[in-house]
Structure 1
């Protein structure tokens, strides 16, 4: 344990002993009063010492020193507690050989590192038989520690039991590896540790290392198998403290030391790598200590609600285009990347050791060593033949990865280590080298798993050096709930998704994208556009516009022609357009298609933009894509393709409506002529333009049945798992506020509305169609939910339930939402150009329970009728779009009324936005898709 300055300020052992003696003089050690006074004394000592340790840490930000100081404090308390037990309460005048006890720290506590709220792991060691005296002392020590509020993990064993169990259990084996004597009989501890080293450690290196590396692999899989998730686990996640500790354990098992300086002397690490190791270790420890202090518990996840405060405490300031919290998280991810590099270097050292001593760790994957185009292939991994290979020809850095991709090989850790040392050789000259650029382009567009190769290039640091613009977004995160990965990880995953679509691996999920991939003229254009689409994030401007500028500079360097470069720049500039039109605009409105066609201009661009959009959305996170989004994109694609290839966008509405009426007449073969004419006459022109042929048949059948039965209202639902939606049709008498009431009923039922169409008949009936999902973006009808939803809608329409009041009550009694961490500036956009027949209102704000119900109620009070609603949620951000008309069925053009609409909606967005206090009773209410 490191030297701790001014230990007496933390806890004065001598003063503590004197205070204990004073209590002994006043009270009988067997009395209840004695134990009470002793506990008070220890609590006072722990509280004082903890405050001193915390104050020192807040001043210095040095996590390692804090952990040592906290460990010292607990050591002294345990020693004092043990002395009270053995000297005053269970004193032995003539102890037998069995009446010995040794208190041993194991695990992290044994390592001498104790985070503020970490467990205190203790081993109570006794000779060969547990006596009543041992049980009494152990019980006293444990109860005293528990009463102090410490979390204690404990075990009671003999030395022989420790050895026997360690041979069977890798966890116990690891815990004992870090065993440290705390107090009691020291010889007992020494005896146990000698046996452990002789019988467990000696000659078992191979098994231990295999177990630890397998354990590490399984742990990474449990925690997302990526170090670039935006809410990482600092202890167990990939690139976290546990990975560093694994290296420590293996080093101690192999070399008998955890001193990094000694590992430098042994040739395991270079001095530069030692400094990286120490920096990474110190940074992660400091962050973990702040995390514990900030949350007041042993929290290991760096969640959104603590990231901003952690950044402030660690003194990260806002810079142009990048907030302090984003700079802090970028540093975290770069450190996690360093941990991965050091792990590979350490494994390379293990393999080198194995070559010298074949009996030592990690089995070789293949015995053959062969030459391949000037490189060495060993154990299925490609390595350089000479350590100065890259210095002789820097192009070989790219050639190595290219060859590994072509031959299905891994890259040897030794080669990665040399690349790390020679990264400065990737300079302007190499970036402009024609061969180097061709190698990079070939790897990115290869049919052989480009995602893995690009990730290897990124991990090695080559990617960011060769494409400096990409280097700027390495480890760059966005502080929101929508983006799950860092920008570089998102980009690499998106390229992987393009490759999978092309190979047919995602054919069932993305049939349209799969079918149009062979029609794309230039694969290079598509892959380069995916590479560049987010490359300008964090620069303080519109990343789409800035990214297009990057494309114009980078693409010629990569060998693309002027026309290809122009297309890539266009794709990057408009890479958000497809989703914006599909998710925010009414696709059945001809003006939507007309506006989109003006942007796209050609079928080739349409194809490219669709596939880019699919990959972009899929790569955001594991639960972002769903079938409903796919359906919207497909509908927009087909409508635009038809317009681009000769279809009529603005064909007369009357002619189109008449055509659809004739089509329905043909389909309703079992209906009488007068029934068909009556049904057709019930709908306005907008119905025929805004519904599909399939929908019209469903509606006709439902309305006929309801009218014959004289039902006051009818609710029909059907689910489509491929589109990930449940479609709910409500047919009832129209009245003001009907849409608002239904959305409120759906909100309190936990249904997320993603789309809605509202039609009113000439005889005063309403035919409203809602597309809903559950909270996970799937169909809503599981576990009988639909039955409850029908009942809630029915009770709401009858007036026996008031959803808008229930939403307020539920929000007040619920736990704080994670979205409350974020600031989303409310905005209302009123657009009279997006539709020829409607005013389009786009509302943006922070998502919260019942937001859609609140907005629709506000629109109702403004005497606006909603024809369709399109609902999207991006993490904490809600974007809801309404197509509305005034009470006369016209667009809203009066400036005073438009200003009032904006004012009232902004007021609705700002209501209930005060963060709630934690700890309130938990009830859930869905956000109705907003």
Structure 2
């Protein structure tokens, strides 16, 4: 795909001037080599500086930038070749020199060179065993390497080009992109003629199938979605490689020399080609900025680079959206356009193959006779519009075709997708208000087959955003954080897919309650609509839950929901974070936690709906976000709330609850139940209410063994697969700061504390239970891992040494966290618990954070009774249940202000910088 003409080429490099300077250098043979290198090195440096200046001046001119980089290298290589042929490997006087043609291959052949792209060269030679040929090629390569260029090269005769292209698809594709650079042009033309005559002719269908197979495999490797929040500009879905694949196919079948010729080949309309060119130019510009910023061949648009590229490409902040979010939204819209163009291209190609051959199709399986379904044509499993004006005559059909596709489990013909994309603009307010259109949309959204896939097609065609403009506003919208893996629209569509999978029983093992309860809902369509709308107001500024509820109140009646269903859907959108925040940030053993949650939920129907929405919302954030620990917490909250809602207020008092829990622990202990008679009164009522029976039983046994052995310190680690974490129990003489030291010791060996409960026996011993995960969110299970945790805790408690300097040296939990501006905050809540002051601290996730916060509380004489840790990508949210030294809540405003100041200081980036070694 040739680059546009360059302006003022000599400002990049003046080959004639350089050639003259080289010719005037004294010496013969290799005597002038160093001087030539010095000239070329300076020319390369100046050329790159000029191109970098142009990139800053014209930050979106991707084609011009890549063309300039290619032009610069073209001239350098021509100068090197001429010098080497004349001085380093001259032709013998007594015989004709064997022909050599220097050819640019790969991205260089396409003139798509970013500042640090590899230089791919192919030397086409008349004879590979000719000494002068070998010497000349070696001389050229050594000069290029000495200039610091990364050069990939191959040396082939014309016969080898033919034979190797037939045997190796990678070589075939590379040669397909070759561009004559220098040397014997007749040899290049001869190789090109034989390549097409002996390799390409007759293998067109095979080539296309192979390229599409390669594309699908590459997409799978890169995450199989174009909406990952750290995309690979070159290899990712919707990236440059997808556009290149179209060019390869067009060149192979139609011999196009330039992407513009795809229009003449009938594969694109002029408007589609302009869209192709615009997307390609933007992606090329982004790639050039990545190379220019990093000084290397970097194609990943990582979080830390996104901000700088957005700044360079002059994206500005807008209300509700930062500059980087606006830049990334535009990026994803271009990636989406690449996907749409691919569908159009392949649809046209299929048509051409169908006309050219007696066979009816391009892909296998086109032997069925066409049939008619509600006015549409169904052929070989594909649903097609019967005419070019089908959607323009009745735009409601733009909704209908997708509903039929979902209900009948049919694909939509690519040409019909092209029509839908083209005609999506005919969806106006009248269509949006049409009861039939909304009924069709609701049927699709709540479909029982594959609503996720079909809604994604609808989104790709631009119909979804036109029919639901509020959804169009979050189309391709990225959330600039490390927690969300996908854009808002992709996250939403995935959540609907998980909802469908739960309903079909496909996720029963991971979501047993949701799988059971979804069939008890009074209105399943309310759940699907609430899932669609739960993030609909992101990027508007303000609380997206509150703003989203207002959108729900407006849209639900339009979709056909009743007044009662609308009220429920709006409540769900407003409170869609309530259950996760309660489960992950509050102490479920504290009765007030459940009381407050139930007071908001009020009905079993709301509880069921909210629990299922919470599950799919977390799951759709990205791979690994859902885990068994989150499932355990949500399940525990669900069961407690369900019991309270079903039976009303607690049927028994605190004394009865403690007795019931002791009885459950006695049963759990089995043949060791006698330990309860010895130790049951050792622990206070809050312990029995807080700890589950299985953990309490383990604590009792460990305490008994430690007492028998006369141990002043007992540390026990055990993987708990059900909770998805490792249970770490520490029994020691209680003293101020014990929690802080244990937390530091666990972090020091790479553990992340996700939950902690701190208890003191009537005899003054601490029994502290920690749930710990490894950096990937899994339990520690290997014996050596458990031993390291136990040893680290024992050393920390025995030695009393300062742990903070060691902890500060540990790497950040996740690469790229430093790209985000996370301002620490502290919130106090004296109403969330009857007995404790609840303190929530939000900060950038980093080594030793929990340890530093615990130290700050210790120094402020606040006693930690339980701690709950949640991670949202680069952010950590740590919740502490505390009292003062006398066991009372902390209510004095001055004390709270001092605690806030100490915690903010402990959580700040400045504190981290002071701790890190120089």
TM range (shorter): over 0.9
| Structure 2 residue 840 is the aligned partner of structure 1 residue 842 | yes
| Structure 2 residue 727 is the aligned partner of structure 1 residue 727 | yes
Q: Which residue of structure 2 lines up, in the alignment, with residue 396 of structure 1?
A: 397
How far does residue 890 in structure 1 lie from its aligned partner after superposition?
1.1
How far does residue 295 in structure 1 lie from its aligned partner after superposition?
1.3
Contact 1:228 1:333 in 2 (8 A): yes
Q: Which residue of structure 2 lines up, in the alignment, with residue 311 of structure 1?
A: 310
C-alpha separation between the residues in 1 aligned to 2:485 and 2:283? 21
| Structure 2 residue 333 is the aligned partner of structure 1 residue 334 | yes
Q: Deviations over 1:390-419 (max 9, x none)?
A: 122222222211221222110001111111
Aligned pairs for 1:278-357 within 5 A = 278-357=277-356
Decide whether aligned partners of structure 1 residues 316 and 60 sit closer, same or farther in structure 2, where only a CA change above 3 A counts. same
Gap runs ≥5 in structure 2: none
C-alpha separation between the residues in 2 aligned to 1:670 and 1:437? 64
Contact 2:128 2:134 in 1 (8 A): no
C-alpha separation between the residues in 2 aligned to 1:246 and 1:359? 26
Aligned pairs for 1:441-480 within 5 A = 441-480=442-481
How far does residue 720 in structure 1 lie from its aligned partner after superposition?
2.5
How far does residue 287 in structure 1 lie from its aligned partner after superposition?
1.0
C-alpha separation between the residues in 2 aligned to 1:95 and 1:57? 50
From 886, 890, 893, the counterpart of 2:891: 893
Q: Which residue of structure 1 lines up, in the alignment, with residue 740 of structure 2?
A: 740
Q: Which residue of structure 2 lines up, in the alignment, with residue 273 of structure 1?
A: 272
Contact 1:594 1:649 in 2 (8 A): no
How far does residue 668 in structure 1 lie from its aligned partner after superposition?
6.2
From 831, 834, 840, the counterpart of 1:833: 831
From 28, 41, 48, the counterpart of 1:43: 41
Aligned with 2:475: secondary structure? coil
Q: Which residue of structure 2 lines up, in the alignment, with residue 506 of structure 1?
A: 507
Q: Which residue of structure 1 lines up, in the alignment, with residue 773 of structure 2?
A: 773
C-alpha separation between the residues in 2 aligned to 1:73 and 1:765? 75
From 3, 19, 22, the counterpart of 2:21: 19
Contact 1:820 1:915 in 2 (8 A): no
Contact 2:804 2:915 in 1 (8 A): no
Q: Which residue of structure 1 lines up, in the alignment, with residue 701 of structure 2?
A: 701
C-alpha separation between the residues in 2 aligned to 1:783 and 1:914? 32
How far does residue 8 in structure 1 lie from its aligned partner after superposition?
1.6
C-alpha separation between the residues in 2 aligned to 1:47 and 1:517? 65
Aligned with 1:124: secondary structure? strand
Q: Which residue of structure 1 lines up, in the alignment, with residue 617 of structure 2?
A: 616
Contact 2:751 2:773 in 1 (8 A): yes
How far does residue 870 in structure 1 lie from its aligned partner after superposition?
0.3
How far does residue 587 in structure 1 lie from its aligned partner after superposition?
0.2
| Structure 2 residue 377 is the aligned partner of structure 1 residue 376 | yes
Decide whether aligned partners of structure 1 residues 702 and 219 sit closer, same or farther in structure 2, where only a CA change above 3 A counts. same
C-alpha separation between the residues in 2 aligned to 1:259 and 1:344? 20
C-alpha separation between the residues in 2 aligned to 1:670 and 1:115? 72
| Structure 2 residue 901 is the aligned partner of structure 1 residue 903 | yes
Q: Deviations over 1:847-888 (max 9, x none)?
A: 111111111111112222111100000001110000011111
How far does residue 911 in structure 1 lie from its aligned partner after superposition?
4.4
C-alpha separation between the residues in 1 aligned to 2:813 and 2:681? 51
Aligned with 2:99: secondary structure? coil
Gap runs ≥5 in structure 1: 922-930
Q: Which residue of structure 1 lines up, in the alignment, with residue 562 of structure 2?
A: 561
C-alpha separation between the residues in 2 aligned to 1:443 and 1:667? 49
Q: Deviations over 1:691-721 (max 9, x none)?
A: 2222222222111111011112112222222
Q: Deviations over 1:635-671 (max 9, x none)?
A: 1011111111115349533443344345556776767
Q: Deviations over 1:614-654 (max 9, x none)?
A: 00000000111100000000010111111111153495334
Aligned with 1:645: secondary structure? helix
Decide whether aligned partners of structure 1 residues 16 and 318 sit closer, same or farther in structure 2, where only a CA change above 3 A counts. same
C-alpha separation between the residues in 2 aligned to 1:657 and 1:816? 42
Q: Which residue of structure 1 lines up, in the alignment, with residue 56 of structure 2?
A: 58
Decide whether aligned partners of structure 1 residues 275 and 917 sit closer, same or farther in structure 2, where only a CA change above 3 A counts. farther
Contact 1:816 1:917 in 2 (8 A): no
C-alpha separation between the residues in 2 aligned to 1:177 and 1:668? 73
Decide whether aligned partners of structure 1 residues 11 and 667 sit closer, same or farther in structure 2, where only a CA change above 3 A counts. closer
Q: Deviations over 1:477-533 (max 9, x none)?
A: 100000000000000000110111111100001111111111111101100100000
Q: Which residue of structure 1 lines up, in the alignment, with residue 202 of structure 2?
A: 203
C-alpha separation between the residues in 2 aligned to 1:463 and 1:479? 24
Aligned with 1:869: secondary structure? strand
Aligned with 1:762: secondary structure? coil
Aligned with 2:647: secondary structure? coil
C-alpha separation between the residues in 2 aligned to 1:733 and 1:916? 33
C-alpha separation between the residues in 1 aligned to 2:805 and 2:744? 9
C-alpha separation between the residues in 2 aligned to 1:454 and 1:107? 37
Aligned with 1:103: secondary structure? strand
C-alpha separation between the residues in 2 aligned to 1:816 and 1:559? 45
C-alpha separation between the residues in 1 aligned to 2:800 and 2:590? 37
How many residue pairs are counted as aligned between the two chains? 913
| Structure 2 residue 869 is the aligned partner of structure 1 residue 871 | yes
Contact 2:775 2:813 in 1 (8 A): no
Aligned with 2:522: secondary structure? coil
How far does residue 57 in structure 1 lie from its aligned partner after superposition?
2.1
Single out whichever of 348-357 and 255-264 deviates more from structure 2.
255-264
Contact 2:572 2:610 in 1 (8 A): yes
TM-score (norm 1): 0.95
Single out whichever of 351-360 and 535-544 deviates more from structure 2.
351-360
C-alpha separation between the residues in 1 aligned to 2:688 and 2:543? 39
Contact 1:63 1:283 in 2 (8 A): yes
C-alpha separation between the residues in 2 aligned to 1:335 and 1:873? 31
Aligned pairs for 1:67-146 within 5 A = 67-94=66-93, 96=95, 99-146=98-145
Decide whether aligned partners of structure 1 residues 799 and 256 sit closer, same or farther in structure 2, where only a CA change above 3 A counts. same
C-alpha separation between the residues in 2 aligned to 1:722 and 1:830? 32
Q: Which residue of structure 1 lines up, in the alignment, with residue 186 of structure 2?
A: 187
Single out whichever of 656-665 and 475-484 deviates more from structure 2.
656-665
RMSD across aligned positions (CA):
2.1
C-alpha separation between the residues in 2 aligned to 1:362 and 1:798? 74
How far does residue 908 in structure 1 lie from its aligned partner after superposition?
0.5
Decide whether aligned partners of structure 1 residues 162 and 914 sit closer, same or farther in structure 2, where only a CA change above 3 A counts. farther
Q: Which residue of structure 1 lines up, in the alignment, with residue 216 of structure 2?
A: 217
C-alpha separation between the residues in 2 aligned to 1:917 and 1:291? 32
Contact 1:53 1:66 in 2 (8 A): yes
How far does residue 685 in structure 1 lie from its aligned partner after superposition?
2.1
Decide whether aligned partners of structure 1 residues 785 and 39 sit closer, same or farther in structure 2, where only a CA change above 3 A counts. same
Decide whether aligned partners of structure 1 residues 521 and 740 sit closer, same or farther in structure 2, where only a CA change above 3 A counts. same
Single out whichever of 740-749 and 265-274 deviates more from structure 2.
265-274
C-alpha separation between the residues in 2 aligned to 1:904 and 1:312? 35
Aligned with 1:130: secondary structure? coil
Q: Which residue of structure 2 lines up, in the alignment, with residue 519 of structure 1?
A: 520
Decide whether aligned partners of structure 1 residues 676 and 396 sit closer, same or farther in structure 2, where only a CA change above 3 A counts. closer
Contact 1:234 1:241 in 2 (8 A): yes
